[in-house]
Structure 1
Amino acid sequence: MTTATMPLREPRARFADLVAAEWMKLWSLRSTAWSLLVCALAVVAFNAGTAYDTYRYWPRQDAGFGERFLRDGMPLMSAFTANGAMVLILGTGAIGALTVVGEYSTGMIRTTFAAVPARRSVMAAKAVVVSAVMTAFGAVVAWGSFALTQAILSGRDAGVPIDHPGALRLVVASALLAPVCALTGMALGVIIRHSAGTMSAIVVVLLLLPIAVTEGRHWSAVLNHTLVYSAWHRLTSVHDTGGDFPWTTTGAWTVYAAWALVATMLTVTVVHRRDQ
């Protein structure tokens, strides 16, 4: 067979091409931008509402309230509240899950894998896109919340700058909460493949488990220290609470990294071992 008659082989897709395709696929859905916008507004609203309540009812406090407010680190507690973190966890986890569950529910995943048989590369590209988008999203929301809440509190001379002790760590930890939860949602979506089941799993794993376990016993404290929300709470705590089973900020950062790594590995490997 001469060179002229040999069939031409289609070139393998480069990873950069897969990332570009997943980027276009993500933003081609109107729901992506709207979901991010609604999630951002909800998180910022919870945090700003807490700061505004403090501002509004400040005159009702006693003369030493302002000094105690600053001494106890309350400006940072208002900068990113627990309610805001829970909304961010749920919203980003759901968005991450929908990036894969949506394709399974419509059957588009079959077309994707038919076009690119290298399933692990496809899912790795999807994880890269989700990580990048959610990291940027988390940074905007965390910084926006911090800036807005401190501007509100500055009306009572109670706001703090970003170089205040613990402020930068709070912003970074809150920002990185978004990609960690989105990757976790992706992993659960790949495993479960159904919208309702995946959303239920996200609520249980990311929100209910931290409430169910306590610091009262060693085994329970160890389990609590492995959870994403608990890690965020430890990183954003103004004071080291100590307790019977204390843990470090290094351990909390490690929990972040471990959840992101394991979630990505599951997302990439599970599709290689299961049919569409």
Structure 2
Amino acid sequence: MTATRTRAARFRDLVGAEWIKLWSLRSTYGVLAVGALICVGITANSARSNVALIARSASPLQRLGIDPMIAAFMQEAFQILGVVAGSVGAIMIFGEYTSGLIWTTFTAVPARRSVVLAKVVVMTAVMTAFGGLVSATSFGLTQAIYHQEHIGLSITAPGAFRAFAASALLAPVCALFGMALGAVIRHAAGTIVAAIGVLLLAPALFQGETYRWVKEIGNAMVYPAWAALVKNPAHQILAVPGRPSPGAPTEKYPVTITEAWIVFAAWAIAAVVIAVTTVDRREV
């Protein structure tokens, strides 16, 4: 009798399998498409409203008070982007637990860490492309609208490419965080609620400037860091009585650019570590 030798799965094979799993779900296409349309729609509508305001008034204060960067990367729009990315990332983990497919996966590939790392590679690549597409479309469309009033920005404008890169990378960071929550909670509703609570609601609890440690906790969260990266350093507000002069700081303990990038990297790395170690140590 000849013994059958079982060849260990190569990592690229695992990546290919996870790619097929992700795109075999119809919900993946729908969620990403709807999320992209909503995000771009919000930013384009904001730009159109501002252009209409400028057209109705010749006031230089109103013209100078409009920041083209804000419309391109509106917080409300990219909060939706983050929730969409986090949801897709979470589904990639808890979806297999709820369907029972995780049993088959770990039976075929006992190396659980390799399976999760393959999921991480696929999710990071897909969400980086998704975030880049949405950010580029939003920036290009809004600046084309603003060009009607000759206030549109180019990608080479100060801070423009940094804002684009930060908005593009926001998607994979939120997706990886969703994967980590999915690995820990393993429940659809609980994971989505937790993602929204941590990403969107928790920063509101740490906005005060009375105590520095409270503000620093808020600064270490994803969206405050993203907001620091998308600020337009070239935008000047016309100085009028009762308003701060151009360049005056608006907050007591602001997030620096370096700190913001560190926050992005820290959240991504921590999410991967949590997802890998949790799935490896807990029983299915």
Partner of 1:22: 18
Alignment equivalent of 2:259, drawn from 241, 251, 254: 251
Deviation digits for residues 138-188 of structure 1 (CA, Å, limit 9, x no counterpart)? 000000000000011111112111101111111000000000000000000
Specify the code of the residue in structure 2 equivalent to 1:237. K
Deviation digits for residues 208-253 of structure 1 (CA, Å, limit 9, x no counterpart)? 0111211412111110111000110111122474632233101100
Task: Calculate the aligned-residue CA RMSD, in Å.
Answer: 1.4
Partner of 1:207: 200
Deviation digits for residues 6-58 of structure 1 (CA, Å, limit 9, x no counterpart)? 41211000000000000011111111111110110011011111001111222
2:60 equivalent to 1:64: yes
TM-score (norm 1): 0.94
Alignment of 1:68-147 (within 5 A): 68-69=64-65, 74-147=67-140
Query: Separation in 2 of the partners of 1:7 and 1:186?
Result: 39
Deviation digits for residues 70-110 of structure 1 (CA, Å, limit 9, x no counterpart)? xx6x0111111011111111111111101111111111111
My pick for the range that moved more, 124-133 or 83-92, is: 83-92
SS in structure 2 of the partner of residue 109 of structure 1: helix
Alignment equivalent of 2:180, drawn from 187, 197, 200: 187
Query: Separation in 1 of the partners of 2:186 and 2:216?
Result: 30
Quickly say closer, same or farther: Cα 1:157–1:65, change in 2 above 3 A.
Answer: farther
How far apart are 1:61 and its partner, in Å?
2.5
8 Å contact 2:160–2:232 — kept in the other structure? no
Query: Separation in 2 of the partners of 1:26 and 1:97?
Result: 12
8 Å contact 1:19–1:129 — kept in the other structure? yes
How many residue pairs align between the two structures?
Answer: 269
Partner of 2:143: 150
Alignment of 1:23-42 (within 5 A): 23-42=19-38
SS in structure 1 of the partner of residue 20 of structure 2: helix
2:245 equivalent to 1:237: no
Quickly say closer, same or farther: Cα 1:214–1:164, change in 2 above 3 A.
Answer: same
TM-score (norm 2): 0.91
In the TM superposition, structure 1's runs of 4+ consecutive aligned residues that sit over 4 Å from their partners are: none
Query: Separation in 1 of the partners of 2:59 and 2:252?
Result: 35
My pick for the range that moved more, 211-220 or 253-262, is: 211-220
Query: Separation in 2 of the partners of 1:91 and 1:235?
Result: 21
How far apart are 1:65 and its partner, in Å?
4.0
Query: Separation in 2 of the partners of 1:57 and 1:242?
Result: 25
8 Å contact 1:142–1:175 — kept in the other structure? yes
Query: Separation in 2 of the partners of 1:246 and 1:138?
Result: 25
How far apart are 1:63 and its partner, in Å?
3.2
Specify the code of the residue in structure 1 equivalent to 2:130. F
Deviation digits for residues 104-129 of structure 1 (CA, Å, limit 9, x no counterpart)? 11111111111111101000000110
2:221 equivalent to 1:227: yes
Structure 1: give runs of 5+ residues left out of the alignment: none
2:281 equivalent to 1:273: yes
Structure 2: give runs of 5+ residues left out of the alignment: 234-246
2:51 equivalent to 1:43: no
Query: Separation in 2 of the partners of 1:244 and 1:32?
Result: 41
8 Å contact 2:39–2:134 — kept in the other structure? yes
SS in structure 2 of the partner of residue 155 of structure 1: helix
The percentage of counterpart residues that share the same residue type is 46
How far apart are 1:60 and its partner, in Å?
2.4
